[in-house]
Structures are given as structure tokens and as C-alpha cells.
């Protein structure tokens, strides 16, 4: 599966497409809990690079193969996180939007309501990595097919490469781990188990091992 196609354009501020009721204290509590879970998962993943800049991410990915990606803090003050990916046109970064406990790739496209949202960033990334193939045949669902969406580049002043109006398909294949955060053997085993079953609670394992699996329920 691949992420939506990207058209590099200047970011502009836009208001919400429809009014939202004010958040209650319960909503805010759930929202903060979701953000905390996301950052816990990201730190465990080993491919969250923290506060590196868009330029540093570009330099890091420049020699990597297409589909290599990482997550970092956004360069834009109104966003928390960004996805940086090596594409066939070179490295690019896309902002990750967050609102009311949901995360999605930030877009200026009229198709924005059709971009699926997720309870955490790991679920978003895992959805777009899928099984590493693209569904392009006539039987492919709309969810599995690449979208023709305009996603905001993650820079404060627009696209640093000047590649405006050029569509770039984001193919997410493999995460790039930080050198000091390469996964340990236990975590690699957890990824393998999670990648082969959706029912870890049914495995004949002692509770401490089941808890370890549940602490990071992803295969990337």
C-alpha cells in the first residue's frame, strides 16, 4: 500500500471546513492520552528522530532507497509531527495533522474528508506501509488505492526544493532507525509476532510476555 500522491505547494492557513463543538474536559483528557500514547510508541519504534529539521531529514534520507521513511518533529509551529520519505524524486516531508484524538496526513485537497484518520501515528504509518505492495487492479478498494491529494510539505516557508505542482507518490516501505536506537532482539521478535497475528491475547504465552506484546501492538 502507498500513501497519497503529493503535490508540493505553498502552505496556507485554512479554517476548519465545518464548525466543531467545544471540547469538554473529558475530550481534552482523551486527546492528551492519545498524544502521550503516540509519543510512547514513537520512542519505542526507534525511527522517531525527534527535533531534526527538514533539511537534516533530507540529508539523512538522501542516500537511502525509495520508500525509506522516518517520523520527526514538525518544522512548523502549528504542527507536532511530520513524515519524511525518500521518493523517486528525492526526499520529501509531509505534515501530520492532529485534532480531537485523531491523526492524518495534512492536506489542502478537497478530498481531505476522505483521508482516513487514526488514533495514533503508528497506526497511520502501518496503514500506509501495509504489506509492501500497491493495490492498483480493478478490484482495489478506494481505501487501498493511491489518492490524488495535495499534501502540505513540512516547511515553514513552503517547499524548499522548489518542486511546486509536481505530484510525488509516497511509497512507505521501510523505517529508518536512528543509529543509537536500533531495535533489540526482543523488540524484533515482538515485531515478527505482531506481523503474523492479530490475536496475540490467544497465544500460549505467560502474561508478562503478552503485556510486552500489547505495549507495542505494531509490526513496524
* CB < 8 Å & 24+ apart, contacts of 22-30: 23/100, 27/100, 27/101, 30/101
Beta strand residue intervals within 74-110, DSSP E? 81-87, 90-99, 102-105
Answer yes or no: do 46 and 118 share one domain: yes
Answer yes or no: do 129 and 159 share one domain: yes
Answer yes or no: do 151 and 100 share one domain: yes
Answer yes or no: do 151 and 194 share one domain: no
Give the rounded percent of residues in the chain with a pLDDT score beyond 70. 66
Report yes or no: 125 and 172 within 8 Å, Cβ to Cβ.
yes
Answer yes or no: do 174 and 220 share one domain: no
Q: What is the pLDDT of residues 70-82, one digit of tens each?
A: 999 998 999 999 9
The residue-averaged pLDDT of 38-52 equals 96
Number of domains in the chain: 2
Q: For residue 124, what is the domain's CATH number?
A: 3.30.505.10
Report yes or no: 93 and 115 within 8 Å, Cβ to Cβ.
no
Answer yes or no: do 163 and 189 share one domain: no
Answer yes or no: do 31 and 106 share one domain: yes
The residue-averaged pLDDT of 82-110 equals 87
- Residue 210 domain boundaries: 183-220
Answer yes or no: do 137 and 99 share one domain: yes
The residue-averaged pLDDT of 140-167 equals 42
Answer yes or no: do 145 and 203 share one domain: no
Answer yes or no: do 12 and 86 share one domain: yes
CA 8 – CA 92 distance, rounded (Å): 9
CB atoms closer than 10 angstroms to residue 58: 18
Q: What is the residue-averaged pLDDT of the chain? A: 76
Maximum mean pLDDT: which of 43-47, 95-99, 104-108: 43-47
Residue 18 DSSP symbol = S
Answer yes or no: do 159 and 194 share one domain: no
Answer yes or no: do 203 and 103 share one domain: no
Model-level pTM greater than 0.95?
A: no
**Helix, coil or strand: residue 195:** coil
pLDDT of residue 69: 97
CA 211 – CA 80 distance, rounded (Å): 29
CA 78 – CA 95 distance, rounded (Å): 10
CA 153 – CA 214 distance, rounded (Å): 33
Q: For residue 195, what is the domain's CATH number?
A: 1.10.750.20
Amino acid at each position: 500500500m502507498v500513501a497519497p500522491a503529493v503535490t508540493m505547494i505553498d502552505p496556507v492557513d485554512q479554517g476548519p471546513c465545518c464548525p466543531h463543538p467545544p471540547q469538554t474536559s473529558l475530550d481534552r483528557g482523551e486527546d492528551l492520552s492519545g498524544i502521550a500514547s503516540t509519543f510512547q510508541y514513537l520512542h519505542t519504534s526507534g525511527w522517531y528522530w525527534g527535533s531534526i529539521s527538514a533539511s537534516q531529514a533530507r540529508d539523512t534520507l538522501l542516500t537511502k532507497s525509495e520508500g525509506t521513511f522516518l517520523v520527526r518533529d514538525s518544522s512548523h509551529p502549528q504542527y507536532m509531527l511530520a513524515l519524511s520519505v525518500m521518493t523517486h524524486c528525492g526526499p520529501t516531508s509531509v505534515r501530520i495533522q492532529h485534532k480531537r484524538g485523531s491523526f492524518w496526513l495534512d492536506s489542502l485537497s478537497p478530498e481531505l474528508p476522505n483521508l482516513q484518520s487514526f488514533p495514533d501515528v503508528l497506526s497511520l504509518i502501518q496503514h500506509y506501509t501495509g504489506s509492501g505492495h500497491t493495490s492498483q487492479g480493478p478490484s482495489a478498494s478506494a481505501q487501498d488505492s493511491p489518492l490524488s491529494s495535495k499534501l502540505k510539505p513540512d516547511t515553514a516557508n513552503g517547499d524548499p526544493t522548489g518542486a511546486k505542482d509536481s505530484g510525488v507518490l509516497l511509497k512507505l516501505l521501510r523505517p529508518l532507525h536512528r543509529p543509537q536506537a536500533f531495535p533489540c532482539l526482543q523488540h524484533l521478535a515482538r515485531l515478527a509476532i505482531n506481523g503474523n497475528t492479530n490475536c496475540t491475547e490467544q497465544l500460549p504465552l505467560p502474561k508478562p510476555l503478552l503485556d510486552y506484546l500489547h505495549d507495542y501492538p505494531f509490526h513496524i
